[in-house]
Chain A
Amino acid sequence: MVFSAVGILAATVTLSACGSDNTTGSTAAPNGKTVGSQANCAPGTLRAEGSSAQKNAIEAAITSYQRGCDQATINYNPSGSGAGIKNFVAGQVDFAGSDSALKTDEAAAAAKTCGSPAWNLPMVTGPIAIAYRLQGVSVLTLDAATAARIFSGEITTWNDPAIAALNTGVTLPATPIRVFFRSDESGTTDNFTKYLKAAAGSAATLEPGKKWSGKVGEGKEKSAGVAAAVKGQEGGVTYVEWSYATQNGLGIAAIDTGSGPVALNSANVGAMVATAAQVGTGNDLALKLDYATKAKNAYPINLVTYEIVCSVYQDKAKGALVKAFLTHFASASVQAGLEKQGYAPLPAEVSTKVAAAIAAIG
C-alpha cells in the first residue's frame, strides 16, 4: 500500500518533470498585465511547435502572456526541433522553437514559405549540468578533458588521479563511475558532445551528435530518466538540464575552464552566452557559442534555443501576434522568472539585440 502510494506519487513527479517543473506562470503573474503590451494584444491564435528543451520556458511565458491578454491563444507543441522546423517550413505553424539555428537549406526553404527571410531569435538559455551522485562529495570540479575521459570510459573510478588533481582537499572515494546517457536523440546530447569536442582537445573521443556515440554506460529515456538513474546509483554521472539536476538533488560539477572553477548559476551562464559570436546577419541572431571560452566566470556548457520566425508575415495580424508574444517572452521580467524552471536569462548584450529584431518583425 505504502509502496504503491509512493509509486503513484513518483509517477506524477517524474512524468510532469519533462513538462512543468513547477507550477509555472505564477512568477510572472504580477507583470503579466504590464508586459503584455496591450496595444498589440489582438485576439487570435498562434500555433508554434518545436524544441522540447524550451517547453517549460515557453509555457511559463504563454501563461503569463495570456493572463494579460486573454483573447490571444498560443499553442506550443513540444514535438522536437526537427518537427518544429519541418512544420514551420511547411507553413503549418506560425513560428518554430529549435535547439539549433536553421541550416542553409532549411533557411532557404523557410524564406520561400515566409516570402521573406526567416530569422533565428535566441530566446532561452538552458545550461547543461554534469550531475553526479557521490557520497560525501558535495563539491566537485571537472574540466573538459577530464569530463571527456569520464564519459568515454577512460576514467573508471572517482578517485582517479586526473579527478583528484582538480579537487585538492576533497576526499574522493574509490567508487566505480557509472555513466548514464540519453538513449533518445537529443539536443542536450548534441550540445554536450559539441562542448567536449570543442573544449577537451585531444581527450575528446566522442563524436558530436544528437545520438550518443560512446562505448560505455547505460542509456536512459529522456532527461527525467537519466536524472532518476543517477539519483538511484551511487557513483552515477550524467549530463542533464540544470532543473533536473537540482530537482533530483544531484551534485553539480563546477567546470574549470582554465581560469578557475566556474559554478553553474545564472550569472555565469549569462557571461558565457554574452561571449557568443553572431553568425547570422542583421536581425538573424543565430549564435555560435564558444564552448572553449576561458572568460572569467563563464559557465561553458549551454544550450541556446531559438524562436524561428518570418521577418515579414504575409498575414499582418499573425505578424502582430508573433511580435507581441515574443516581446513579452524576451522581456526582462519574464526572462528573470525562467530561472525557476532551470533556465538562465539572456544576458543584456543579447537581449537588446533580440528586442530590436522582434521590433523589426513586419
Chain B
Amino acid sequence: MQHVKADEGMIPPAALDVSRVSHAYGPKQVLSDVSFMVPQGRFSVLLGLNGAGKTTLFSLICHLYDSRHGAIRIFGHDVVRQSGHALRRLGIVFQARTLDLDLSVYHNLAYHASLHGIGRGEARQRIGLLLQQVGMEDRLHAKVRALSGGQMRRVEIVRALLHRPPLLLLDEATVGLDIRSRADILATIRRLVAEERISVLWATHLIDEVDVSDRVVLLHKGRVLADGRVSDVVSASGTEDIGQAFGVLTQSGAQAEEVLR
C-alpha cells in the first residue's frame, strides 16, 4: 500500500491509513493483517459483530497499545513514531463510558481541553458553543452521574470535538441508547461530515446505521472481509443489500475475502 506524506506529493494523505496491522493478546490473535483507509471528509463504517476486533483496532489507532506488526497513520503521521502529531488530529468516543461521574459536565470537558493544551478561556468558549449545538447548554454544571445515557454520549462527542480534530472515531457510540437518541447522534455526526468535512470512522454492529453512500469496512474475527463503497460490497457479494451481504460474508469468511479484494 502506498503512503503519501503530507508535504511530499499532490495527493493528500488519507485521514486514516491502517496498513497490515496484526495484534494478539498473548496466544489469542485478535487482528490479522488488517488494512484499510478512511478518506478525508468521508463517513466510513467499520462493521463487525461483537468480538470482531473493533475495540482493539481503536485502541491501536489511538495509541493505547502499539501494534507489533503493521503501521497506522493519521493524516500521514505514524501513531507510534509521531504519536503527538497523530493524536492531535484525532477525536475519539470510546465504547465504554469514559466520563468522570463525580465531576460536572463542565469539569469533564475542561479537563479534556487541558489535556490538549487549550487554555481555560478558550475552553470555556468552545464548551459553551458545542454544548449549545447538541442542546445541552443547560446541563453545563450538572454532575455527569445525573445525565441519561444519551446525554452522556453527547457530552463525549462534544469532548471528542473540543480540540477540533479532523478525524473522529466512534466505537459503538449508540449502544444502549434509545432509538431517538441513536438517530440524533448519527445525524449529528453525518452533518459534521457534510458541513465540516470531518473524516469519521464509525464502528458498529448495527446494519441500520449504514447508509448506501457510506464506505464500509467489514471486520470479522480480526480480518477485513470487505472494504469499499456499500454498493460495491453488496454487488460483489451477490446480494441485494448490506444486511444480506454482511450475513453472507461473515458466514463464508475467507472465501469472501478472495471475491471482494
Asked if A and B bind, the verdict is no
Binding site for A on B (CB under 8 A): none
Binding site for B on A (CB under 8 A): none
